[in-house]
Structure 1
Amino acid sequence: MGYIQKHRYGIFGTIVFFTVVVVILISFGFYTQLPLPGEEGILVNFGVDDNGAGLIEPQKSNAKTQEVKVEEIIPQETEPQTNEEAKVKGEDVLNQDYEEAAAIKKKKIEVEKKKRIKEKEIQRQKQLIEEQRQKEEALKKKKEQEEKQNVINDRIKNAFSTGKNDSANSSKSEGVTSGKGNQGSVNGSVDSKNHGKGNGRGNKGIFFSLKGRNPKFLPKPEYNLQLSGIVVVEVTVDQYGNVVKTNPGIKGSTTLDATLLNAAQKAALKAKFDVKHNAPAYQKGTITYHFILQ
Structure 2
Amino acid sequence: MFSFLDTTYKRKSAALTSVIMSLLLALIFFVGMTYLDPPEEYGIAVNFGTSDVGIGDVQPNEPLKSTSEEKLQEEQEEVKETVEPEVAEKASETLTEDVATQNNEEAIAIKKKQDAKNKADEITKNAKLEKERIERVKLAAIAKQKAEEEAKRKKLDALIGGINNSDGTATGGEGNDSKAGDKGNINGDPNANGYYGNGGGGGNGDYNLGNRKPVSRPKPNYICTEEGLVVVSIEVDVNGRVIKATAGVKGSTNTAQCLLSQAKEAALNTKWSADATAPSKQIGTIKYRFSLSQ
Return the TM-score normalized by structure 2.
0.42
Which of these two proteins has the greater Rg computed from alpha carbons? 1
Return the TM-score normalized by structure 1.
0.42
